[in-house]
Structure 1
Amino acid sequence: MATPKFILDLRTKIGHDLLWLTGITGVVLNDADEVLLVRRADNGRWSLVAGILEPGEQPAVGLIREIQEETAVEAEIVRLVSMESLPPASYPNGDRVQFLDLCFRCRPLRGEPRVNDDESLDVRWWPLNDLPDLTDRERASIENALSPDPMPVYVTP
């Protein structure tokens, strides 16, 4: 994922210190029981569409932007699936981050999936019964998005 300019600007001031960011993830499901996945250019893994909110950007608007930028698919938000604070992470250059991730269930409106930026190597629909190797968190996000319970998942005290 390309580093947004606002983060590069912050890094000039805070160096590698922990930076708290808002992440957005989309579980885009079509009527054929398939999920839209991207094969990331940075690590070669298949993944849900995800990104970072720009300052002041609304989460649903930012996710729709990310889906279109990465896959050329126009989508709409169906519902909020989950809110969770992810563990801190470090990048090879020493930058430290921690994300509050907002995951949404989405549905496609129009457009055929294709690589639409330099962040992805491949983009395609995957049958839910034949998914590639995904992280446990991504599999849980898909499972939560498929749940008939409309309430978002979040950690409670």
Structure 2
Amino acid sequence: MPISPYLKSLRERVGNDLLLLPAVSAVIRNDVGEVLLARSYGDDEWALIGGGLEPGEEPAAAILREIREELGVEAEVSQIVGAYGGEGMFITYPNGDRCAYVTTAYACQLVSEALTIEEDELREVAWFTPDEVSGLDTQPWVARILTDAGIAT
């Protein structure tokens, strides 16, 4: 999904300046213990499915919306893994926009594994064993979240 109307209105006022934004991330595992990761366009690093909250949106509802939008499938939230912020959550996008995210990570299960990837946002998704994840180039916060979720990386 392109930039939200809310974030677009902020960017019109602050340009590329740093914004502190609330976000959500999904730790999605399948029945054999693999973890679902994705890569976006313009970024070679693997990451968790997730995104920003809209004004007034509950975080648990936001992660279900993000999964639905990005993967085309319904999901269920089982528990909060943790909340994460700090310098490891700073991102500068290719257009120069700078964001500092504070994300709440949720353990989630997909209702179906028949994914329909949002091709405007994601270029690739794949299932990985914990051993495979440790050899991937991932976003800086992925290992910390997966470790907290009980997934060795």
Q: Which residue of 2 aligns with 1:135?
A: 139
Pairwise CA distance, 1:49: 0.5
| Pair 30,20 (structure 1): closer, same or farther in 2 beyond 3 Å | same
Partner of 2:9: 9
Q: Distance in 2 between matches of 1:136 and 1:13?
A: 29
1:72-111 deviation line (CA, Å, top 9, x unaligned)? 2321111111112232443344433221111111112224
The answer on 1:145 being equivalent to 2:149 is: yes
CA 1:39–1:91 in 2, change beyond 3 Å: closer, same or farther?
closer
Total equivalences in the alignment: 147
Q: CA deviation at 1:48?
A: 0.9
- What letter is aligned with 1:60? A
Quote the residue 2:97 is aligned against: 95
Asked if the contact 1:114–1:123 (Cα under 8 Å) also holds between the matched residues in 2, the reply is no
Contact 2:45 2:139 in 1 (8 A): no
Equivalent residue number for residue 109 of structure 2: 107
Structure 1 gap ranges (5+):
148-157
Please report the TM-score for the alignment, with normalisation by the length of structure 1: 0.82
Residue pairs, 1:8-157, within 5 angstroms: 8-87=8-87, 88-131=90-133, 132-146=136-150
CA distance in 1, matches of 2:122, 2:85: 25
For the 8 Å contact 2:25–2:104, the answer to whether it is kept is yes
Percent identity of equivalent pairs: 33
Gaps of 5+ in 2: none
TM-score (norm 2): 0.84
Structure 1 letter corresponding to 2:148: N
